[in-house]
Structure 1
Amino acid sequence: MAVGNHYDSNRPSYTDQAIRYIVDVLSELSPLNRKDLKYDVLELGAGTGKFTEKITSCISQDVKYLASEPSESFLGVLRNKVPSFVDCASCTADALPLPNNSVKLIIAAQCFHWFANHENLQELYRVLVPGGRFVMLWNNKDWSIPWVKSIEDILTQYYDEDTPRAVSYKWKHVIENFSGFSLKNHQLLPGIQMKGNRDFVVGHFSSISVISRLSPEEKQEALAKFYNVLGSSEMTKDLSEIQIPFRTEIYDVEKMVL
């Protein structure tokens, strides 16, 4: 679980405003209760439970909640963190272990770009009840800040052309071209406040998948580049505490009856 623990220690949580949005959606869906309903909420790519932990502290224990995650390293951390009313499962978005029309709300926090394709959307459509919702959200860094842009330029060196990235918005093109979902809301909200010393900031960027999977030598090289940015930027070089600027993006769609 070492990889999962490193990820969990260095990734941002979610704002109260973003959590309230999801809780409000769940409340809106309360009339959709059916006798064949299996879960109120299905969370995809729950990771180590950063989002799961936050939202489950704000909902009733009567809510039937399934947190799914394909990585065993992450799943081990997730299971140790979530409350007892949350079920956990190892599965991927293309093969959900659920009947048709059995979930009211699907959530994908910081992950939909990894599996954004027509086939996976068909599977999500299958398990959602008519009128059910699929809500995606991301903590996006503000790449317009010069020092953050410098780190983004370093990260880009390690990405393959085909590596899915939320900032490419390919996921948005995929969902816009899927006739089974209709857009309910798309908005940008103020992001989480995440700050610390240089080691903390570099630790955060080291938890990004494209860096965490590098060889030890390549990783040390990347981290040295991050430290160089923080030590040379006029915005960060004299600071003992550096804030990583985030914005929260929410994309919310409803299942249409075709």
Structure 2
Amino acid sequence: MSKTAHNTAVNSFNSNHSSYDVFRPSFNPILVNPFLVDLGLAEVIGDKFKFKTDKKIVEIACGTGKFTKNLIENGWTTNLTVIEPSSGMLTTFQKNFPQIKNVIQASSYEIPLQDNSVDAVIIAQGFHWFADDESLKEINRILKPGSKLGLIWHFDYCSPSQNSNAEDSKFFNDGSRYFNSFEKIGNNEKLFEKFFANQKWNEEVTKYIYGFDVNVPQYRHGKWRKVLLESKYFKNDTKDSFALYDRLISKEDVWKYWETRSYITDLSDEKKEEIKYKLFSIIDANVNENSYDPNTKLLIKPMVLHAVVVTVNK
């Protein structure tokens, strides 16, 4: 019997799909377009990108379409299939993108597509939920020989997921005021620790919230990376790319952003109110005049977008 999608993920996203769509960040073309080049889905001609929309893409765990929006804007419609196990997420997705017809409610463990039929598989903000050999075997099955798997996540703090060499990685400045002082030599995890230290309030809030995610798979745990690198279904040719940016956010929206996390959504209302109060206390105790953008007066939240590309082994 095949494995099924993680219950916590499906249940929480069934209930919080609308908030997820509002408060989770989008994916900037400054990294997405080079990511599509690495996947063999685009090429650079002069200073512009040309997208190969004849290539067939499957996006697994499409959610509400935060990443899908980039694919549609780049010209993919008929050659795009999206797969998502949460009915709630698909409700919001179909409201957002009624023009996408190839929408399938399914998981990464049983993909109803033919062998060797897909040019690329993309998973945005989701692979940690199903980072195992069973999923990778199924993704391998539908990919054509020589094609690639692309993974992409936003992250809020350093973790083993960035355990790679800066010299082998690509870095993009998506408007971060700290980019020019960011070193690009050594281990990426250590470098991002220094990057996030630029805003103490965000660092402390993130560490606090991370204390609640011990029972569910998360990007930051780094398990996905070990599984991917050791899998016989994909080559050990991982390419890492990072885009550094500043998210400007109100104190109230800091809570709304974190409330969309599955391990917070799953808690009782009483516990969530307790966490919210503590989160605001942490912010108040750690902000200073450099914590706010001078133009908008909003909090500066350093963030990073991480893209990973590997080649199918077949």
User: Do they fold alike, i.e. is TM over 0.5?
Assistant: yes
Structure 1, 119-128 or 181-190: larger mean CA deviation: 181-190
Match of 1:241 in 2: 298
Matches within 5 A, 1:34-183: 40-61=56-77, 64-82=79-97, 84-143=99-158, 144-145=196-197, 146-160=200-214, 162-183=215-236
**CA deviation vs aligned residue, 1:190-217 (integer Å, no higher than 9, x gap):** 2354222111222111111111121100
Match of 1:36 in 2: none
Distance 1:193 1:14, change over 3 A: farther
Match of 2:175 in 1: none
Which amino acid in the other structure matches residue 277 of structure 2?
A
Structure 1, 18-27 or 216-225: larger mean CA deviation: 18-27
Which amino acid in the other structure matches residue 152 of structure 1?
T
TM-score normalised by structure 2 residue count: 0.73
Q: Is the 1:195–1:241 Cα contact (8 Å) retained in structure 2?
A: yes
1:184 Cα deviation (Å)? 4.2
Match of 1:191 in 2: 244
Task: Find the residue that maps to 2:152 and give its secondary structure.
Answer: strand
Distance (whole Å) between structure 2 residues aligned to residue 74 and residue 212 of structure 1 = 14
Distance (whole Å) between structure 2 residues aligned to residue 104 and residue 121 of structure 1 = 15
Q: Is the 2:155–2:304 Cα contact (8 Å) retained in structure 1?
A: yes
TM-score normalised by structure 1 residue count: 0.87
Q: Is the 2:291–2:299 Cα contact (8 Å) retained in structure 1?
A: no
Task: Find the residue that maps to 1:84 and give its secondary structure.
Answer: coil
Extract unaligned runs of 5+ from structure 1: 34-38
Q: Is the 1:15–1:192 Cα contact (8 Å) retained in structure 2?
A: no
Structure 1, 104-113 or 14-23: larger mean CA deviation: 14-23
Quote the RMSD (CA, aligned, Å). Answer: 2.3
Match of 2:31 in 1: 18
Task: Find the residue that maps to 1:181 and give its secondary structure.
Answer: coil
Which amino acid in the other structure matches residue 250 of structure 1?
A
Matched, 1:214 2:267: yes
Identity across matched positions, percent: 23
1:243 Cα deviation (Å)? 2.3
Q: Is the 1:130–1:256 Cα contact (8 Å) retained in structure 2?
A: yes
1:83 Cα deviation (Å)? 5.2
Pairs aligned (count): 248
Matched, 1:7 2:20: yes
Q: Is the 1:185–1:250 Cα contact (8 Å) retained in structure 2?
A: no
Distance (whole Å) between structure 2 residues aligned to residue 6 and residue 232 of structure 1 = 27
